[in-house]
Amino acid sequence: MKESKVEALIYYSKLTFDSDHIVKKSKQEIQEKLDQYTAQGYRLTSTTSTSFGTALYIYLFFEKDR
């Protein structure tokens, strides 16, 4: 049987000349979440994202064997 977890991260767009500002900000936090769940025995199985207004929602799906 598998145990599943989902992690939702939210990033907001801002007015800037740096079109990669969300990528730069999110990389470190996403890596921290990957390291955290990997240390607990989970593996990343899927990702998805959606935007609403100025927000970008990133979902990370993890699972591990019980």
Condensed to tens digits (0 to 9), the pLDDT of residues 13-51 reads 877 787 787 788 889 999 999 999 999 999 999 999 999
Domain of 48, in residue numbers: 2-65
Q: Which of 17, 64, 58, 13 is nearest to 36 (CA)?
A: 64
pLDDT for position 63: 97
Where residue 16 falls (left for φ over 0; alpha for ψ -120 to 50; beta otherwise) is: beta
Name the pLDDT band for 3 (thresholds 50, 70, 90).
very high
**Count of domains in the chain?**
1
Q: Residue range 40-65: average pLDDT? A: 95
pLDDT for position 21: 77
